Structure 1
Amino acid sequence: MKEHKQIILLSLITGLVLMVMKFAAYFLTNSNFVLTDAAESIVNVVASGFAFYSIYLASLPRDENHPYGHGKVEYFSVFLEGALIGIAGVIIILKSIYSIFNPEEIRDLIRGAAIIGFTGGVNGLLGYYMVRKGRTLPSITIEADGRHLLTDTVTSAGLVLGLLLIYFTKILWLDSALSILVGIYIAFTAYKLIRKSVAGLMDETDFTIVNDVVKLLGEKRRYEWIDIHNLRAQKYGNDLHIDCHLTLPNYFDLNKVHEEVKEVEWLINREAGIQTELFIHTDPCLPDCCHYCNMPNCPIRSEAKTEEIVWTMEKVMRNKKHYEQ
């Protein structure tokens, strides 16, 4: 978690510096359009601060009150960030609508555009770095913070173009009109972040991860693994928890059963790309399994194998043995 904290701390310090620069640009220009970027920079700082604290909590070891660890706090961080972005977007829209009917003088647009352009470039580089790191570590908090910065870069680029357009056309109402469009874009970005955080808090299935795990199990399948079903996955920050039922030959002793379970755990943790804790319930095979069982030299086989069942996400996630499907 040390690298996680360093990345978020870098984002926090950078956000503070850029926030000061953006508000300087606003006081210089008196432009609502510039204010949209300055207001969002406050969100950047607050969100990065909470993200830093959430990563600290997520790094704490599991305890009696939190037997699955503290990883889900990262989803709260993303929710807070989305909520703050949404509030900023709504405030920007309301202020811009007010300014259409009560216009104010704007000035020094070129210098303001230069300041905003510089801050947008810095956010773009930092955001790209954080999204990449958020995927490789992995950390939903760092990735969300990075995507927020990339969104800020897009709005800054649009803001610079808008300021130049206002400067050359002298159409002052464009300042408020463009601000409304940016506010709508910011609010939509907030919705996507909130949607992602709620999905995590509600244990919504991450079908990409489940599909990768099922594909891996299918490719590395052993003869002894007759059937896997009722597979469910939950994410707790950087950790993945999987429950499933594994059907094994009913003549295996407890040591052999334990060996096969550990083999499944080892395979997923080695090759799935995410730290995984598995809770595997083992089922003994039944005569109905024989027609798709690959076990060679089986001493209790009641019929020859006649069917090859390919493990797919749909089959493996059902709470049924394959012969019941």
Structure 2
Amino acid sequence: MQVRSYLKLSVALALLTIALKTAAWWWTGSVSLAADALESLVNLAGAVFALAMVTVAARPPDEDHPFGHHKAEFFSSGFEGVLIIAAALGILWAAGHRFLTPQPVESLGLGLGLAIVSSVLNGLLAWAMLRKGREHRSMALEADARHLFTDVWTSAGVVVGLVGVGLTGWTWLDPLLATLVALNILREGAHLVWTSSQGLMDQALETESLALVHQVLDEFSHQTIRFDHLVSRRAGQRRFVDLHMHMPSSWSLGRAAAVRSSVEQALMSAVPGLRASIQLLPMDVEAHFDDPKDLI
């Protein structure tokens, strides 16, 4: 199953869980279950936007976007983070109101049953989506999976808290639990916004990928070939490296180009999704990127 298929499944499941959790809130009157249902609305909006951004990211390069549209996935992650934060603020407002005007919860058995069913469904999908997101390095899919996991833990906390309300009769546990849910959601939302902002600012490759790049270059390095000025960046599912390869000036252009092609192919085989660009230079020529005139 591909990334877009998982996101379509996430949209369908979000609609189902909204129905289940809204019914649970309707029957019980629990503000914490209402908070849980509100987060599922955010799940739906996030999944729909993620699906749109993944579709954009899959477009091939064009005249206006020669490096492709891969960064569109970071917009999805940031948008979902903002939605999560908005939902958390709404939950805090509702919980504060319930602290001032406490109300008993009713029909806990049915309400908790619906919450548990929706939580199990979300957990199974989130686990599958997280695996697929890491496999394809899809920021949008991974963000949606992490949000679903947050929803699972939220629902688990709500269930435990409402059981406590049923056993003790302490109605203040319900809004207290909703407040804790909101704080957890705020943390996750802030994390998503921060991660997406870093991705939009051309972060370097992950440590593991850079290690593979250096391993390949070490295999090609010897007395007549050396590499320097390596820079890297990631854009959605794509990875890019640019570097200089120095070799003897007596080599023919054909020989130098053949070696460069071998290095580029080795790099792209070692790191899936990588695009390598290598500039050829004679061994005794250096490039100076830190010259003040280049920074103007």
TM score, norm. by length of structure 1: 0.84
| Identical aligned residues as a percent | 31
8 Å CA contact 1:90–1:183 kept in 2: the answer is yes
The superposition leaves residues 58-81 of structure 1 with CA deviations (integer Å, 9 ceiling, x where unpaired) of 111110111111111100000001
> In the TM superposition, what are the counterparts of 1:142-291 in structure 2 within 5 Å?
142-223=141-222, 226-272=225-271, 274-286=272-284
Paired amino acid for 2:36 = D
- 1:77-99, Cα deviation, whole Å (9 max, x unpaired): 00001100111111111211121
Shift of 1:222: 4.2
1:242-299 Cα shifts (integer Å, max 9, x gaps) = 1111222222211112112111211111122x212222122211399xxxxxxxxxxx
Q: Are the counterparts in 2 of residues 110 and 164 from structure 1 also a CA contact under 8 Å?
A: no
> Do the aligned residues in 2 keep the contact of 1:210 with 1:233 (CA within 8 Å)?
no
Counterpart Cα distance in 2 of 1:36 and 1:189 = 15
Matched, 1:104 2:103: yes
Pair 286,57 (structure 1): closer, same or farther in 2 beyond 3 Å: same
> Residue type of the partner of 2:134?
R
> Which letter does structure 2 place at the counterpart of 1:232?
V
SS of the residue corresponding to residue 2 of structure 2 reads: helix
Residues 287 and 107 (structure 1 numbering): CA distance in 2 closer, same or farther, change over 3 Å? Answer: closer
Question: Does structure 1 retain, via aligned residues, the 8 Å contact 2:57–2:68?
Answer: yes
Matched, 1:116 2:129: no
1:39 is the counterpart of 2:63: no
Count of residues in Structure 1 that have an aligned counterpart in Structure 2? 289
Following superposition, the deviation at residue 219 of structure 1 comes to 5.0
Question: What letter matches 2:158 in structure 1?
Answer: L
Q: Which residue is 2:29 aligned to?
A: 30
Per the alignment, residue 295 of structure 1 pairs with none
Q: How does 1:302-313 map to 2 (within 5 A)?
A: none
Q: Which residue of 2 aligns with 1:291?
A: none
Letter in 2 for 1:286: D
Contact map agreement 2:267 2:276 (CA 8 A) in 1: no
Structure 1, residues 174-217: CA drift from partner, whole Å, max 9, x if none?
10011111100000000111111000111122342552333432
1:262 aligned counterpart, secondary structure: helix
Match in the other structure for 1:60: 59
Aligned 8 A contact 2:264 2:277 in 1: no
Range that drifts further, 174-183 or 108-117: 108-117
Mapped to 1, the partners of 2:285 and 2:18 lie a distance apart of: 69
Aligned AA for 2:68?
A: G
Q: Which has the larger radius of gyration?
A: 1
The one-letter code sitting in structure 2 at the alignment partner of 1:99 is R
Q: Give yes or no for contact 1:69–1:236 (8 Å, CA) kept in 2.
A: no
8 Å CA contact 1:11, 1:48 repeated in 2: yes
Is the CA contact (8 Å cut-off) linking 2:240 and 2:274 kept in structure 1? Answer: yes
| Equivalent position SS for 1:181 | helix
**Aligned equivalent of 1:51:** 50
Deviates more, 1:99-108 or 1:181-190: 99-108
Aligned residues of 1:75 and 1:197 also touching (Cα < 8 A): yes
Q: Is the 8 A contact 1:116 1:156 kept in 2?
A: yes
Which range is displaced more, 275-284 or 7-16? 275-284
Separation of aligned partners in 2, 1:268 and 1:38: 47
Q: Report Cα offsets for 1:15-45 as digits up to 9, x if no partner.
A: 1111111111111111111011100000111
| Unmatched runs of 5 consecutive residues or more in structure 1 | 289-317, 321-325
Q: 1:3 to 1:254 in 2, by over 3 A?
A: same
**1:218 Cα deviation after fit:** 4.5
SS at match of 1:220: helix
2:89 partner amino acid: V
